Structure 1
Amino acid sequence: MMDKDRPMGCAVVGVTANRHLRDGVHRDWLRRRYIEALMKYASVECVILPTIDGDHPSDATIRTFREVMRRLDGLVLTGDESDLDPDILCMNERVWARTEDDVVPGETDRPRDRLSWAALTAAGELQMPVLGICRGLQEMNVYRNGTLHEDLSLSQKGITHSENANLPRDEQYLPVHSVKVASGGLLSSVVKSGELQVNSLHKQGVATLGGGIQVEAVADDDIVEALSYRNSPTFQLGLQWHPEWHATKDNASQNIFKAFGRACDAYMAQRGKK
């Protein structure tokens, strides 16, 4: 049921934070490019969803988190440099609890993994719009029991999927390869094109698809570049690239955020009728 004190205005989406450890201090953070693109092109307001330490059992955590998600109209799963722990995202209780190596800079971010599991669980129950970006696409796949290539540079030939660290940060997010968009899919209906030029800043990638997942785009080396949840009543799309970084110069990126925003607006309106 909708919060009766909340006015019907702009849709509000939850945006996942990441956990960074620096000088022994834990910080939740995310890059502002996500917020800027969501506000400008999706026309939504954003709240940052904090990472989860695992001090409480997963069932207690999701009960609390579900109440937070009931107040939102959409979910955005952001990117990050860390690798996923599939045992957490597949809800393996054995590794839910906090460990000493929960956060290893540039390698492991289990607080984010716990957050993404809780967020995807609640979003699925509430049939909420979801946009996954880079790590977010991988989380959407692993959550449905899919698997990942641990390091694409060791298993793939042809396309280099990781960024060139010698370039300035802004240039690392420029398009570097094409993707073929599947006809008749969600992404195709949004971008109105059979091919896109995208950036590529990821170490891991989809190896096997999770249950109920539709491939929306692939690279020339057959790595999945976009996916959606089949038979979803709303917009639920994962992208392996970063549409937020140069959205001001790319119509396809703008259209993706706009489509997500429209889905959030529709979700908000439907909640208002309940």
Structure 2
Amino acid sequence: MTAKRRPVIGIIGNSALIGGDYPAHAGGTMNSAAVAEVAGCMPLLIPADPNYVSVEELMETCDAFLLTGGRPNVHPEEYGEPPTEAHGAFDRCRDAVTLPLVRACVERGQPFFGICRGFQEVNVAMGGTLYPEIRELPGRMNHRMPPEGTIEEKFAIRHVVHLEEGGVFHRLLGARDVMTNTLHGQGIKTAGKHVVIDGWADDGTPEAIYIEDAPGFALAVQWHPEFNAANDPVSRPLFEAFGDAARAWAEGACRTPALKAV
């Protein structure tokens, strides 16, 4: 990597319609801002559709991947359950790209950071399952985005996440309890193989995970740290660590368990 070349972080895009009828691949500006301004890397929007990209091409083009949030959910057939109305909208094309991409990155040690839907993708890719609507479970709170208000109000800090003593996220963030936003309807039911739940909301909902013994940066959170990432005391160290992992990969240095060095 030359001195001027920033590591490339592939940002998983979402299917969208411009003007209600023009198909597009979209990515939130706040994702690009967090990657460029906090992680110090070059954001590259990926059309998450296997008709246009392959996992092999993506891994050769990008140094790391940001698995973004998105309104469509992972299709329940990916974890052995039939779809119901509670499961919501789906994006099978994105499933077809991200799930094998996660598994390939884990095996190769290439860094990735999952956010919200990306958090759920990581768990499903590793063989885990999801609840379609956690607010309907006894004792659970409503983690969904407020239906009204400004962007700032929708992404406002709303609850505490308790981190495992001495765990990856505790060491990275320097605190056992952190405050986060919450904008999701689904959540982890059973953890996938090698998926370690490292943080929980007060109601027991898993909020932070990593892949045990992964040879590279393999973290995911259920909240949205991309919002106000430059100023938020929880978001900033997450994206800084992710950027460091991407730089190490780009320089050919990330071939040892990065998580243990956090």
With the length of structure 2 as denominator, give the TM-score of the two structures: 0.87
- How many residues align? The count is 247
User: Which residue identity does 2:9 align to in structure 1?
Assistant: V
Residue 20, structure 1, aligned to residue 4, structure 2: no
**4+ aligned runs moved over 4 Å, structure 1:** none
Match of 1:259 among 228, 237, 241: 241
**Range moving further from structure 2, 45-54 or 18-27:** 18-27
2:228 corresponding residue in structure 1: 246
Structure 1: segments with no counterpart, 5+ residues: 1-5, 56-60, 93-105
- Superposed, 1:150-229 pairs within 5 Å as 150-229=132-211
Residue 246 of structure 1, CA deviation: 2.0
- Superposed, 1:1-274 pairs within 5 Å as 7=2, 9-21=5-17, 23-52=20-49, 64-88=54-78, 107-270=89-252
Identity %, equivalent residues? 28
- What are the Cα deviations for residues 173-231 of structure 1, in whole angstroms up to 9, with x where unaligned? 01111010112222112100000111110010001100111111001111100000000
Q: Distance in 1 between matches of 2:206 and 2:150?
A: 27
Structure 2: segments with no counterpart, 5+ residues: 81-87, 256-262
- What are the Cα deviations for residues 85-104 of structure 1, in whole angstroms up to 9, with x where unaligned? 1434x6x9xxxxxxxxxxxx
Q: Distance in 1 between matches of 2:234 and 2:198?
A: 14
- What are the Cα deviations for residues 236-265 of structure 1, in whole angstroms up to 9, with x where unaligned? 101000011122331221011000111111
User: Which residue identity does 2:56 align to in structure 1?
Assistant: R
RMSD, matched Cα? 2.3
Residue 125 of structure 1, CA deviation: 3.6
2:260 corresponding residue in structure 1: none
Q: Distance in 1 between matches of 2:122 and 2:56?
A: 18
Residue 53 of structure 1, CA deviation: 5.3
Q: Distance in 2 between matches of 1:212 and 1:272?
A: 20
Residue 131 of structure 1, CA deviation: 0.2
CA contact under 8 A between 1:16 and 1:115: conserved in structure 2?
no
CA contact under 8 A between 1:70 and 1:126: conserved in structure 2?
no
With the length of structure 1 as denominator, give the TM-score of the two structures: 0.83
Describe the SS at the equivalent of 2:234: helix
Q: Distance in 2 between matches of 1:248 and 1:271?
A: 26
User: Which residue identity does 2:144 align to in structure 1?
Assistant: S
Residue 234 of structure 1, CA deviation: 1.6
- What are the Cα deviations for residues 120-176 of structure 1, in whole angstroms up to 9, with x where unaligned? 133234311110000000000011111111011211435220121122222110111
Describe the SS at the equivalent of 1:87: helix
**Range moving further from structure 2, 211-220 or 262-271:** 262-271
